[in-house]
Structure 1
Amino acid sequence: MATSDGADTYTVENIKELLDRPLKSNTEMAVDVVKNAADEKALKLLIKEHNIDTVHDGKKGLGPVRQALLESEKAPRSLKQKVATRGDDTTELESLVPDSARKSALGALEAGKPVVLYGPTGTGKTTFAKQLALETSVGYTLETASPSWTKQDIIGRVEPEYDKDTISYRKEPGCVSKAVLRARDFSEDYAVIIDELTRSDISKIFGPLYTAIENNHQTIFTTDNGRTVELDPSVNIICTMNMSDRTVNELDNAITRRFAMIEISEYEQDDRQTLFSTWIDKHLTDTMVDPEELKRLFETDYSRLNGIGSESNNDGVMQFGPMHYEDVANFIGKTTKVDGVYEDEPRLAVGEGFRTYIVPRLLNSATYSQINKLVDHYEILDDEFAFDLSRATELVQSELESEEQRMGT
């Protein structure tokens, strides 16, 4: 049997003897067993049959046991990905983005190009980014950009550490540098997802990264222990952008030259129907809401907003994705069940769902002319369907009045 100094290794038989109390109660021992497992069978016994990583590291996250497994030379890629994706339900979801977009994104990553997935809000870009990461890498980290981001959030920074009256400094790698280090430590491809990239000043945060993309020998960061970080081909960089208020042509030319720009926009009708049916079946049980009528409302709202089926694309109001409707279905299901706050007012619950989850997201990027169209759009829907959409219409009308006051009209 192995010891912590590596004098021996843990076989399947050894591990079975330790499984009851010592191995499941002692994290240090569990790490030692993973590091010194005799072979792949021993590691599979620990992870697949007894979930020893979940016992010590929790349902998700990168704890010491998972770290040891990911760094193990004896662990197969499938086992590494299993622990890297604990608690991530993305692996259970079907990818519904257009096949051309999926192939283009996979091809770009295979060619060593970073990828930007762009399109209107609610088209599933973040979910697809995760699926793309897991199809090409053993695991991923996800960071959401913000206006305060600088190049240090990408590359790394020096952070102060305070201990009573003393201060010291340590180097903290940024999200891309951290992905490079993990790819090396795990001996596998690793991905970093930068979500909502348009929230940040792209030129400011990506400056050093542009140089590294064109020169993979360029050192972009050095850790406290002297490890240098260069942009490695084993690191897949995947970004998402909401393009509701910007177009690709308005982006800095530097990013469009160095990144593969993949548009994620309209879903085919069959795919939308699959989504809507899945969400309604999942969330609407024991309510008085007609599921087929609600599905028809979702499809009608989505199609008219996006101008689908009209003679001209200009007949729509604005681009808007289907993913937002799951929040509406969940709200309706929760509020119209027995003892729910809208148990006796299911028609009103539908309107409140739209007022809470659809209309604010539309108004977030709508222009004055689009707000005008939204007023007409929801008034027509309110007349056409048996649901009470008046509250959603009132919110759009209120925003229109506020806009007119600001404009002095």
Structure 2
Amino acid sequence: MATTSNDTYSLDDAKEEIDILRRVEDEVVNAIENAESEDVLEYLIEKEKLDTRHDGQRGLGAVRRAVLQSPIASDRLKRVVSLRGDETPEDILVPKDVMRNAKVALEAGKPVVLYGPTGTGKTTFAKQLARETGIGYALHTATPSWTPSDIIGGISPDYTGDSLSYRTKLGCVSEAVQRAREFNVEYGVILDEITRADISKIFGPLYTAIENPHQTIFETDEGETIELDERVNIICTMNMSDRTVNELDNAITRRFAMIELDEYEEDKRRQLFKDWITTHVSEQTDLEDSDILRLFERDYKGINHGHESTSQGSIMRFGPMHYRDVAVFLGVACREGGEYEHDQTDAVGQAFRTYIVPRLLNAAAFPQVERIAEHYRALNGEFEDFDLSPAAELAERELEQERRQMGSYDS
């Protein structure tokens, strides 16, 4: 090699020795640590993608760690390695005020809760927000078994030795603090679907830390103390079908910025539908794009805003992201050799029965179940080219079951 650990490493050196760098991880780390300018790092990472060659498609290996620790690497380049393999869409489609309010809250040092109906893209926006406001992020999905140790850390058994021992284990937030410290960067931690867990229980120590940011919340076996760090952005999501904001413990609404994510602008919603139809339906099926788009729009508006022909309002709040699953189903089912290649109009009703109606019924009270059944009966009559009876029949069966249960209670 043309350099030692004390020499600078030039772009010409990198180009001359690229064959060796492609084979030997340690030499890449040495080149990054001794690079004379960011041009060297850009060549190794952006042009040659040596982090992918040595560290894999995603994850934090020796090469990416060297970039993140480099004093000459820009935030942009650190994002490249930190987010390698992240397929989060670049286009942010949420209303402008949602994005602005969430960014301001994080800049002001407040954790954020993104809440709203299912299918409004809360998790996608949480990842986009984390990417916009930090170098990287980690995503954790809550479960009913979560405890405070899953958030701030705790003691866990270690079975690696000859006998059982116990070690401290970082939680979601303390791990993010450690990452932000190690690389001196802003870092995001996403706690997804937090209403799956007992919020008041799991967040108790975190509430205390938010009120007293200099208080130690965790100490590792190595004696490192963990305190909340202003470089760590905490972003949570919750579905309104799980719990309303009014039913939340006041502790979270006082300490977190509550950002509602509900309606998309109509043109952006239609563009989402068009993109999914073009990507998954147009190239794989004989179904008419315009007919599928009109069905998506009629279904979405009927659920969220009610039908123009009646005086009734919305059935419930229901996000547009659910329709991507319908488009993907149709593309797979109706392609050449697919299960519905020769029954493509039937596939539409099956897709709605599989992805849309169960999600509506899951959050519906009895009056809503009645209206869901009525909605799909009407839709089936309106769209003569599609057989939507499977969707209507599923809603009808649920309605009959609800009626029988109510009858048994009355008797």
For residue 368 of structure 1, report the CA deviation from its aligned partner: 1.6
* 2:127 aligned partner: 130
Which residues of structure 1 form unaligned runs of 5+? Answer: none
Instruction: Give matches, 1:3-402, under 5 Å.
Output: 3=4, 6-20=5-19, 22-90=20-88, 92-163=89-160, 165-284=162-281, 285-307=283-305, 315-385=313-383, 386-402=385-401
* 2:405 aligned partner: 406
Amino acid across the alignment from 2:90: L
Q: Note closer, same or farther for the CA distance 1:156–1:312 as it changes in structure 2 (3 Å cut).
A: farther
Is the 8 Å Cα contact of residues 117 and 262 (structure 1) preserved in structure 2?
yes
**Structure 1 length normalisation: TM-score?**
0.94
Which residues of structure 2 form unaligned runs of 5+? Answer: none
**Structure 1 counterpart SS, 2:15:** helix
Once structures 1 and 2 are overlaid, which stretch shifts more, 292-301 or 398-407? 398-407
Structure 2 Cα separation of the partners of residues 164 and 276 of structure 1: 54
Is the 8 Å Cα contact of residues 44 and 50 (structure 2) preserved in structure 1?
yes
Amino acid across the alignment from 2:182: D
Is the 8 Å Cα contact of residues 221 and 230 (structure 1) preserved in structure 2?
yes
**Structure 2 counterpart SS, 1:153:** helix
Is the 8 Å Cα contact of residues 315 and 368 (structure 2) preserved in structure 1?
yes
Is the 8 Å Cα contact of residues 307 and 313 (structure 1) preserved in structure 2?
no
Amino acid across the alignment from 2:305: G
**Structure 2 length normalisation: TM-score?**
0.94
Structure 2 Cα separation of the partners of residues 201 and 29 of structure 1: 49
For residue 188 of structure 1, report the CA deviation from its aligned partner: 1.2
Q: How many equivalent pairs are there?
A: 405
Amino acid across the alignment from 2:330: I
Amino acid across the alignment from 2:273: F
Once structures 1 and 2 are overlaid, which stretch shifts more, 333-342 or 345-354? 333-342
Is the 8 Å Cα contact of residues 244 and 319 (structure 1) preserved in structure 2?
no
Structure 1 Cα separation of the partners of residues 158 and 64 of structure 2: 27
Structure 1 Cα separation of the partners of residues 360 and 307 of structure 2: 20
Q: Note closer, same or farther for the CA distance 1:294–1:254 as it changes in structure 2 (3 Å cut).
A: same
Once structures 1 and 2 are overlaid, which stretch shifts more, 233-242 or 34-43? 34-43
Structure 2 Cα separation of the partners of residues 216 and 281 of structure 1: 49
**Structure 1 counterpart SS, 2:203:** helix
Structure 2 Cα separation of the partners of residues 282 and 313 of structure 1: 36
**Structure 1 counterpart SS, 2:159:** strand
Q: Note closer, same or farther for the CA distance 1:226–1:326 as it changes in structure 2 (3 Å cut).
A: same
Structure 1 Cα separation of the partners of residues 159 and 217 of structure 2: 26
Is the 8 Å Cα contact of residues 195 and 242 (structure 2) preserved in structure 1?
no
Q: Note closer, same or farther for the CA distance 1:164–1:182 as it changes in structure 2 (3 Å cut).
A: closer
For residue 37 of structure 1, report the CA deviation from its aligned partner: 2.7
Q: What is the aligned-residue identity percentage?
A: 56
